Structure 1
Amino acid sequence: MRFFSQRRRPFLSVVICIHDMAREAPRTILSACCPYQKNVSPEDYEVIVVDNGSAVPFALRDGAGLSPAPRIVSMPHPRPSPVFALNWAARHVARGNHILFAIDGARIFSDQLIANTLRAHSICTDAFVYTLGCHLGPSVQMVSTTQGYNEDVEDRLIAESGWPAKPSALYNISVFAGSSSNGFWKPIVESNAFSVPRQLLDKMGGFHESFASSGGGLANLEIFARYVQRPDAKNVCLLSDMTFHQVHGGVATSAKVQHSTFAQEYFSIFQREYRFPSFDAIYLGPLRPEAAKFARIGLAE
């Protein structure tokens, strides 16, 4: 099935998937829109939030002043895995010439992520553009949640940091997610805000819909590896723009499901074990001061 729309298109469609995220989604949506997003025109992109079967359908209570106005849509036939909702939104709702996927709606965007994504695609027309991911809190949330870190602690941490008036504060109260722990200078295994031209999406396909388990299992890792290792790949890593994960009892970050379960599903689909991708990247900077601590990781090795 082609990822195609006949309507007039903005340059970029940002597709964010949510499920039971009444606390987390408003922050994520705010961070995807102007005026939080800097150096970008709201006319250049759209924000689509696809609700994948929340127990209480999501409604944005305070969206006044956000631009582009976020579009909240409900997945017609929600399933436990978000891959179906993301593919459906890209095929039938998104109008952009490029699609940015955010599989986890609990991840706050850095404030120049959209501008630098647009810049990367304008420089390299067939690029796969990706960001690295962080966890809010003192350590990765699989660990911190066993040591007293929870939604209340995180709410205080964010409020005391000065966010959202001070976007750079998130860098000071977060650590690399495990999937990005190799840092900027070595291959990582997934991105929670990556974008592709629609033509490339038509050619390479969206999320693999055999990943049917809750949360999607290794679906985000599979699509990342498929794109960054494609023939003649042009992969652009945004050097200072990142996503910041809010704790919310997610399938992976809460360790509700063991990695072995995800690995078994992957093996059942491909008849082989998951392998870390090997790829080269082009870096789009400059390196912002608030991201410097992350850029130092891996340099001494």
Structure 2
Amino acid sequence: MQLSVIVIAYAMQREIPRTLQALARSYQTIGAELDYEVILVDNGSPEPLRTDALPDDVPVQLLRIEGAAASPAQALNRAAELAQGDVLCLMIDGAHLLTPGVFEWALRAFAAFPCPVVAARYFYMGPGEQPETVLQGYNQAAEDALLQQIDWPREGYRLFEVGTPLSGGAANITWFNRMFESNCLFMTREHYFAVGGSDERFDLPGGGFLNLDLYKRALDAAGAVSVQLVGEGSFHQVHGGTTTNSERLAREAKLADYRRQYETLRGHSQLLSDKPLQFLGHLPTQASKIHLRKRRG
């Protein structure tokens, strides 16, 4: 099997059917001919994830973890052990929508480079970065209206018209800004386990900086090649996440806890890898030219 997509979900009944639609054979450009699986992990949701509303053209298996840890680290490792694909796609936050060419362009990297670690850029759904827009009234109803407006999923690349790239504090974002995080991260299964998988000592609710740590360790490993996709993205749906959609002061306090834990575990505060970057992709629509837009929000 070529690809295993691992999706971690916690209390995401509204979001997961859309997430899976974006992973469907009929949506991804190479979905029809690709040998792949989706491992959907219900990480101890209070109400078990229902499967009646899931798309029927996604090769998905559901794994529910009872009494799950507050962090998704264990869930990622368990799913990776079950995975049959040579390549893993890790989606630590299951509330994300992908653009249609993510599988195609990510897998091209595995044909071009010996040990690529491939990241799709992180976007927020909505008119700005969600930590700010939710305080201004952006909510699930507004998001539903946006998706209806762009006729999603029929028009997958129109997500760029209603999304905002994660800035990470940068004044302007282009496709060539170095990424410190991705919620759609590809590496070989062999590489995932060679770098130690997800460190289960990141045990804070939501994982803290687990995702950032895995990305950096995967990139910093000997022989790894850092590849960032151009013209493809991973769009975060609003769902009341641990940090993304929390009130400002509470979010700042949580981030401070995350930093302290990272520094304790790693002995430093450097979250960015300095591995040289490679870029692979295209610009499928005018709206995908994010370097031309003014910062919103």
Question: How do 1:59-98 and structure 2 match up within 5 A?
Answer: 59-67=50-58, 69-91=59-81, 93-98=82-87
Match of 1:49 in 2: 40
* Cα contact 1:240–1:291 (8 A) shared by 2: no
- CA gap 1:297/1:268 in 2 versus in 1, 3 angstroms: farther
1:132-167 deviation digits (Å, cap 9, x = unpaired): 010011100000001010111111111122111111
Question: Are the structure 2 counterparts of residues 64 and 260 from structure 1 closer, same or farther at C-alpha, using a change threshold of 3 Å?
Answer: closer
Question: Is the contact between residue 189 and residue 224 of structure 1 (CA under 8 Å) also seen in structure 2?
Answer: yes
2:263 paired with 1:273: no
Of 211, 214, 221 in structure 2, the residue corresponding to residue 223 of structure 1 is 214
The answer as to whether partners of 2:21 and 2:27 remain within 8 angstroms in 1 is: yes
The residue aligned with 1:177 is 166
Q: Which amino acid aligns with 2:36?
A: Y
C-alpha distance in 1, partners of 2:176/2:80? 31
Change over 3 Å in CA distance of 1:158–1:82 after alignment to 2: same
Larger displacement relative to structure 2 (198-207 or 95-104): 198-207
Q: How many percent of aligned residue pairs carry the same amino acid?
A: 29
Q: 1:195 — aligned with what?
A: 186
How far residue 274 of structure 1 moved from its aligned partner, in angstroms, is: 3.9
Alignment of 1:2-81 (within 5 A): 10-67=1-58, 69-81=59-71
Larger deviation: 198-207 or 101-110? 198-207
Q: Pick from 147, 151, 157 the counterpart of residue 168 of structure 1.
A: 157
Q: How does 1:130-169 map to 2 (within 5 A)?
A: 130-169=119-158
For residue 270 of structure 1, report the CA deviation from its aligned partner: 2.1
Name stretches of at least 5 consecutive residues in structure 1 with no aligned partner. 1-9
Asked whether the equivalents of residues 125 and 197 of structure 1 are also in contact (C-alpha less than 8 Å), the reply is no
User: Which range moves more in the overlay, 287-296 or 98-107?
Assistant: 287-296
Cα deviations across residues 6-64 of structure 1 (Å, max 9, x unaligned)? Answer: xxxx1110000000000111100110111011133354211110010011111222335
Report how far residue 118 of structure 1 moved: 1.8
2: distance between equivalents of 1:71 and 1:209? 23
Distance 2:205 2:181 in 1: 18
CA distance in 2, matches of 1:90, 1:273: 27
Shift of 1:284: 1.2
1:128 partner letter: V
- Residue in 1 that maps onto 2:113: 124
What letter matches 1:252 in structure 2?
T
Give the deviation of 1:277 after TM superposition. Answer: 2.6
2:280 aligns to what? 284
Change in Cα spacing, 1:238 to 1:277, as seen in structure 2 (3 Å) is same
> Is 1:233 aligned to 2:224, yes or no?
yes
Cα gap change, 1:65 to 1:290, in 2 (>3 Å): farther
Question: Cα offset for 1:296?
Answer: 4.3
Contact 1:187 1:278 in 2 (8 A): no
- Distance in 2 (alpha carbons) for counterparts of 1:153 and 1:297: 22
Structure 2 unpaired stretches of 5+: none
TM-score, L = length of structure 2 = 0.90
Q: Which amino acid aligns with 1:200?
A: H
1:215 partner letter: G
1:17, 1:269 → 2: CA distance?
Answer: 23
Q: Is residue 9–residue 95 contact of structure 2 (8 Å, CA) maintained in 1?
A: yes
Deviates more, 1:275-284 or 1:30-39: 275-284
| Deviating more after overlay: 277-286 vs 79-88 | 277-286
**What displacement does 1:236 show?**
1.6
Whether the 8 Å CA contact 1:98–1:196 is kept in 2: the answer is: yes
